[in-house]
Chain A
């Protein structure tokens, strides 16, 4: 009986020692990688790498992609004939649907003054396909560009769009600077 107790005591001791060791290993590992741990990060796409393949609109885990087109107004030329708004070959000064490039009609065109027009993205309608981005980049200044919108993004551990992005434009950025903006706003941050 005594023998049995001793055996149990020995087993407990070994277990205690192993447990302490394991805790130390986990702690040490945590310290090792925690030492260079970063602030929280979120997914963002670099508009300078983006090639507008349209996968952002189809590969997000959300049915309506978290990626939307945004507009750097201070880069925009306020053109009458906008490469991002008008379908190639469209007649000038016409907002008819058949002349619009955006498949969901998410770009609003409003007259400012001769000969300038303001273009605004209606985010609720935008599906992040990037057709306008392509048009604006080819003919204009590239003031229209895609961004992950963080009011929508679920910040998946592995971004489903990032896995299929052909240009490697997706990266993790610090969550206190969650956008890669163009124009003055991009410069300021």
Chain B
């Protein structure tokens, strides 16, 4: 039974006994209480159709296929040493992960989901997405970048169209390769601040897999495919942010693809075999600098690294206002602010929508302020990271690891197996297999 609420304000006792049962607050929204038309012809109202999305089962199936494909590719690259089998895996990946699955979510993009999950308290990551991020990393930690060789549909499609690759000078490759770190840094920054998924926005091949997009993105994708004909794996080498992580893993890998099945005779036949420029030559007998010079240079650089981190951090943290424009809340706040200052209102759909929502502008500005603060901290981290990378790269130039063999560069090698057939020992091995 309902009771009348008597508040001090009411000056006369008011008791209403008859009202009960129905919570009137929910009344207007309750569809069961809607004045429905009464049909006499026996007409039945059809339900709204709700076609289901791709089932969770199929998502897990994709994770399973990913793991199996990684296992097979690793086997083909390290044990069987078959370029043809790796090529076949690449074809499979382009068809399955590319054209059938139509892209999302891929391991490259998943690093944004992981960043968001790490930094945004309200972001939850589906387990399958997490699996797509972790499984290739773990495989790489043990077998090198076999993921890049033939499992990643982006890598595979570039590998398959590589018809006439031109060699890229070592220094140019190093410089262009730095973009990967920049891209990684920005992708993480924007994902971790909830601004945007940059990697997805500028995915060069998803438009091909889906066979459609707007004109600009289509042109971008076709351009990338065309570029991949002449430049070996341009996305993998110069842009792929996930490749940075894989490179780190690969450097620690337990096993790795080798050019020769047994030992290198330094015959130099494989020297130019890698279109990706990922083969390290044996170190020359005579180093370009003396040991003392090298140590001195190293010392200077070691002092320099913290300075570079500080410079990078300081610079990028000052870009907070500019960078935070990427966040929809900040960009809306700026538009509202501009309208307020110029005395206009509703110049865009966004501002019109915001104004009719009744949220006070101060709330929006406060939110934008918090996001900007996050960008200031993120800027320090991003700038520091880039400074550190630059420092480490410079140090890498002055450290010479002695090597007497032709070896794949573990960080850069995609384990595609193109070099196998250049090695005379490999031919010997195949010969032996044929004999026994």
Interface stretch, picked from B31-39, B265-273, B280-288, is B31-39
Contact A19 B141 (CB under 8 A): yes
Q: Which of A30, A36, A72, A151 contacts B124 (CB 8 A)?
A: A36
Interface stretch, picked from B84-92, B193-201, B236-244, B386-394, is B193-201
Q: How many residue-residue contacts, CB under 8 A, span A and B? A: 166
A residues 1-47 touching B (CB-CB < 8 Å): 15-16, 18-19, 22-23, 26-27, 29-30, 32-34, 36-42
Contact string against A for B residues 90-130, beta-carbon threshold 8 Å, 1 for contact and 0 otherwise: 00000000000011111001101110011000001111101
Residues of A within 8 A of B31 (CB): 72, 74-75, 182-184, 186-187
Contact string against B for A residues 149-189, beta-carbon threshold 8 Å, 1 for contact and 0 otherwise: 11101111110000100111000000110110111111100
A76 to B37, CA, bound (A): 9
B138 smallest CB distance to A (angstroms): 7
Contact A62 B212 (CB under 8 A): yes
Residues of A within 8 A of B106 (CB): 157
Contact string against A for B residues 35-54, beta-carbon threshold 8 Å, 1 for contact and 0 otherwise: 01101110101111111111
| 12 A-B residue pairs with CB within 8 Å | A27-B134, A70-B49, A73-B47, A73-B48, A74-B36, A78-B37, A113-B39, A154-B102, A154-B104, A157-B104, A166-B352, A181-B50
A90 at interface (Cβ–Cβ under 8 A)?
no
A77 at interface (Cβ–Cβ under 8 A)?
yes
Excluding A116-B39, A154-B102, 4 further A-B contacts by CB distance (< 8 Å) are: A61-B210, A112-B41, A156-B103, A187-B31
Contact B353 A37 (CB under 8 A): no
Contact B47 A185 (CB under 8 A): yes
A36 smallest CB distance to B (angstroms): 6
Interface residues of A (CB under 8 A from B): 15-16, 18-19, 22-23, 26-27, 29-30, 32-34, 36-42, 51, 53, 61-63, 70-78, 112-113, 116, 118, 120, 141, 149-151, 153-158, 163, 166-168, 175-176, 178-179, 181-187
Contact B37 A26 (CB under 8 A): no
B70 at interface (Cβ–Cβ under 8 A)?
no
Chain A residue at smallest Cβ distance from B53: A150
Contact B43 A156 (CB under 8 A): no
B350 at interface (Cβ–Cβ under 8 A)?
yes
Contact B117 A33 (CB under 8 A): yes
Contact A51 B353 (CB under 8 A): yes
Contact A40 B59 (CB under 8 A): yes
A62 to B354, CA, bound (A): 28
Q: Which of A19, A34, A63, A166 contacts B252 (CB 8 A)?
A: A19
Contact B53 A70 (CB under 8 A): no
Q: Given A18-B252, A73-B46, are A158 and B124 also a contact pair (CB < 8 Å)?
A: no
